Amino acid sequence: MTRSYFGTDGIRGRTNDVPMTPEIAMRVGQAAGVHFLRGDHRHRVVIGKDTRLSGYMVESALVAGFTSVGMDVVMVGPMPTPAVAMLTRSMRADLGVMISASHNPYYDNGIKLFGPDGYKLSDADEVAIEALIGKSPKLAASPDIGRARRIEDARGRYIHSVKSAFPEHLRLDGLRIVVDCANGAAYHVAPSALWELGAEIVTLGVSPNGININDKCGSTAPETLQQKVIEVGAHIGIALDGDADRLIVVDDKGEIIDGDQLMALIGASWARRGLLRGGGIVATVMSNLGLERFLGGKGLGLLRTQVGDRYVVEMMRAKDYNIGGEQSGHIILSDHATTGDGLVAALQVLAELVESGKPAHELLHQFDALPQLLKNVRFAGGAPLEDAAVKRAIADAETRLIGNGRLLIRKSGTEPLIRVMAEGEDEVLVETLVDQICEAVRIAAG
């Protein structure tokens, strides 16, 4: 079945345009509710959101949908995506929902669904829910309509869970940390957790107003964080995205550290301490060849998946790996969380910083990355990758990179973009090939 609503990370789009309308959100609630009404117990769904203005609208529509088919709703307000996954499990809920478009601008929103185990839904579950969205649901009888309530202690529960991932014998005393919460879901919990562990905190992006989420802040716009780290003489900077499931770090010299370097650090540390399972880590096709070579030099492997943290998690579960992630900063540490958790990953990095006694710029640069360039081309419709000129440009680039690099061309699963990535030993060649392909795509896309 072709999926009309679900992409690589749930349902996402511009608010008040299909598929992110209140009507469709209500139908998603009804369909997901019906799909997870299993057994004769009282059913429950946990709903969290980030700080987007449209979150109220989507939340209300989902509540109407779930309660109309007889499912109780627990609303936790603005909370990170991994917190919703954790609360879904700990509250023995049948389903979890996060209302967020992650790193996208405020005018987008999305719906991410978690099963009772706290993991994102399988393709099979999403297909089944899609099939139900277009059908009239069986509404609950009047006495069986679901009830909705808010809980006030969700933040404390999540902070406690996050801190349990930090070694008990360590503290963050003496560390000055700049934390950028992207005016998003972690604006309260991230600074609180770090402060409780003893750090001196300098905050950015902790004043959400509904429309400033990810606006010149957070993991996708770390320039302000870089400046602030230098300005205040911080030991390290931490940037989360709008729903706090990804992490980018800035070292004490203001240099950006991506997810590949962070996975290398955590993977090597866990291997040294006997905590690493699977003999390596899981990453996507986007991760740098330098990471693969680094791991190989330590006798560790790298399994690659298609882009999307859900596919990383699926591979981790199938092969019993406990570290995986993406170059963009989604890092999944399955000993502590069922999905990417920027704060949990940050605490692993901070633990290494404390124990090593090294400055961040020395500790965090684990390997020399090969020159890699990613560019995006926006398109309005059609299939530019099927164009003959685009195919010729791609074939030519692949031929020129044989033995010296690699090429990856794909459509984004969350935005109308063609992503063009190349990496190799020759930086000039990489840039030339990416530009040639991008130009061919632009012409084909009109």
* In a domain? residue 395: yes
Answer whether residue 147 is part of any domain: yes
Section 81-89 average pLDDT: 98
Tell me, yes or no, whether 190 and 55 share the same domain: no
CATH code: domain of residue 280: 3.40.120.10
List, for residues 35-47, the tens digit of each pLDDT value: 999 888 999 999 9
299 shares its domain with 397: no
Segment 216-244 mean pLDDT: 98
Supply 342's token pair.
């920027």
95 alpha carbon, distance to own chain's centre: 19
Mean confidence (pLDDT) of the chain? 95
Check pLDDT > 80 for residue 2: no
CB neighbour list of residue 325: distance below 8 Å, 6 or more residues apart = 259, 262, 263, 281, 282, 283, 309, 312, 331, 332, 340, 345
Residues 147 and 166 in one domain: no
Higher-pLDDT residue of 195, 410:
195
**Residue where a domain stops, chosen among 152, 187, 221:** 152
Q: How many domains does the chain have?
A: 4
**Residue 338 structure tokens:** 């069922």
Domain termination residue (choose one: 114, 137, 152): 152
301-305, 404-408, 414-418: least confidently modelled range = 414-418
175, 83: one domain: no
Residue 201 within any structural domain of the chain: yes
Q: Tell me, what's the pLDDT at 9? A: 85
What is the rounded average pLDDT of the residues 108-121?
A: 96
pLDDT of residue 7: 85
Say whether both 23 and 147 belong to one domain.
yes
23 and 137, same structural domain?
Answer: yes
Three-state DSSP class for 8?
Answer: coil
* Residue range of the domain that includes 412: 372-445
Active-site positions? 102
At which of 120, 152, 184 does a domain end? 152
Q: Which residue reads 């031929």 in tokens?
A: 399
pLDDT band at 413 (very low <50, low <70, confident <90, very high): confident
Q: Are residues 17 and 134 in the same domain?
A: yes
**From CA 156, how far away is CA 163, in angstroms rounded?**
11
Is residue 206 domain-shared with residue 316, that is, in the same domain? no
Determine the Cα–Cα distance for residues 289 and 403; give it in Å rounded to an integer. 12
Residue 380: per-residue pLDDT: 84
Is 196 inside a domain boundary?
yes
Please tell me the predicted confidence (pLDDT) of residue 415: 79
- The proportion of the chain whose per-residue pLDDT surpasses 70, expressed as a percent, equals 100
Residues 23 and 133 in one domain: yes
With 0-12 / 13-18 / 19 or more C-beta atoms within 10 angstroms meaning exposed / middle / buried, residue 209 is: exposed
Kindly report the pTM of this predicted structure.
Answer: 0.90
**pLDDT digit string, tens, across residues 125-150:** 999 999 999 899 999 999 999 999 99
The pLDDT of residue 405: 87
Q: Is 301 within 8 Å of 385 (Cβ atoms)?
A: no
Q: What is the pLDDT of residue 1?
A: 52
Instruction: Report whether pLDDT(256) > 90.
Output: yes
Do 101 and 41 sit in the same domain of this protein? yes
Please check whether residues 242 and 313 belong to one and the same domain.
no
Q: Tokens 């840039």 belong to which residue?
A: 431
- Domain shared by 385 and 317, yes or no: no
